[in-house]
Amino acid sequence: MCQFLVETKREFVLSKQVLRSGTSIGANVEEAIAGQSKADFLSKMSIAYKEARETCSGCVCSKTPAI
């Protein structure tokens, strides 16, 4: 999707933000799994959820289908 935004729409700022938020989802889920407490787990999963929503909003802003 990021490549589509850059090559087709010539959109650089949004594509970089979608890339950052999209790749941080997995990192936050991994951190949650390795959490030291239930509160730590929930905090990291909450961050991952917010990043997923941000990634989806980037798709909506660009009118690009989520991949």
11: which DSSP letter?
A: -
Is the pTM for the entire model greater than 0.75? no
Looking at residue 54, its pLDDT comes to 82
Per-residue confidence in pLDDT tens, the chain, 67 aa: 556 655 666 666 676 777 778 788 999 999 999 999 999 999 999 999 998 888 877 665 555 555 5
Q: Which residue shows structure tokens 């730590």?
A: 40
Could you tell me the fold of the domain covering 2-61? de novo design (two linked rop proteins) (1.20.1440)
User: Rounded distance, CA 29 to CA 14, Å?
Assistant: 23
What angle, rounded to 10 degrees, do the helices at 38-62 and 13-33 form?
160
Domain extents for the chain?
2-61
- Please tell me what DSSP assigns to residue 12: -
> Which residues 6+ apart lie within 8 Å of 24 measured at CB?
48, 51
Specify the pLDDT at position 10: 62
Quote the pLDDT of residue 18.
75
